[in-house]
Amino acid sequence: MFNLVLFGPPGSGKGTQSENIIATYKLQHISTGDLLRSEVTNRTTLGLEAKKFMDQGMLVPDEVVIGMISSRIDESGDARGFVFDGFPRTEAQALALDKLLEFKGTSINLVLSLEVEEQQLIKRLINRGASSGRSDDNEEVVTKRIKEYHAKTKPVAGYYEHQGKLVTVNGEKSVEDTFKLLSAHIGQYIS
Ligand code: AP5
Ligand code: MG
């Protein structure tokens, strides 16, 4: 298996690039943001609880997200590998993911971290807000999401750097050029 973590702040292009990556390399996409939004849409107990945090740009509690990921991995069948998008976002989540994958006899191979300057992130997300219908794509909540990223998520990069798995990639180029940069690294593992 080949397992990739696509890492980076809100608006860095994780979702956009995941689509290209899963189509090209035939991997399964696991986005905790998408899973949570689907729980919200279906008005499940988990969704109603998570919505309170998401609407404020705060992280949903670790135990909720880890439980959700665990079920998703169990449902995956014979996957060629996973692209984790927006997960792990805390060190506790990173540790839990390592354990879940170890149980499956596999591990994270590579962590690609998309780097985009803050003003550009804000611009992209507010732009997207015009059509996304996402309750967190407005200036006030975007600013909070970026703050939360610096406080709780950025340290996760250090966790993977320590494991020798972290590679940073410029995320400010066009969607196509960014995909080429990411592919150059993924191509060292699978074709
Ligand atoms: P989540 O859905 O994961 O949102 P996020 O990390 O805030 O990131 P986004 O999805 O907004 O950005 P992205 O990096 O995917 O960029 P995209 O490709 O869309 O999380 C939402 C909430 O759920 C969190 O706040 C939290 O409450 C909760 N949550 C989720 N996971 C959690 C977890 N693990 N633990 C706890 N809580 C969790 O691109 C953004 C825009 O830019 C798009 O319009 C796109 O078209 C555009 N764009 C992309 N690439 C380019 C480019 N190269 N040039 C120009 N524009 C571009
Ligand atoms: Mg996303």
Give the number of the ligand closest to the Cα of residue 57: 1
Q: Give pLDDT tens digits along the chain (191 positions).
A: 999 999 999 999 999 999 999 999 999 999 999 999 999 999 999 999 999 999 999 999 999 999 999 999 999 988 899 999 999 999 999 999 999 999 999 999 999 999 999 999 999 999 999 998 899 999 999 999 999 999 999 999 999 999 999 999 999 999 999 999 999 999 999 99
Q: Is 89 a catalytic residue?
A: yes
Please write down the HEC assignment for all residues of 153-174. Answer: HCHHHHHHHHCCCEEEEECCCC
CA pair distance 49, 33, nearest whole angstrom? 14
Decide whether any atom of ligand 1 lies within 6 Å of the 154 Cβ.
no
Is the entire prediction scored with pTM above 0.85?
yes
Q: 51, 128, 154, 165: which one is catalytic?
A: 128
Domains of the chain, by residue range, sit at: 2-186
Burial class of residue 83 (count of CB atoms within 10 Å of its CB; 0-12, 13-18, 19+): buried
Tell me which fold the domain 2-186 belongs to: Rossmann fold (3.40.50)
Compute, in angstroms, the gap from residue 13 CA to the centroid of ligand 2: 7
Q: 72, 134, 152, 154: which one is catalytic?
A: 134
Which of 155, 159, 152, 157 minimizes the C-alpha distance to 169?
157
pLDDT of residue 78: 86
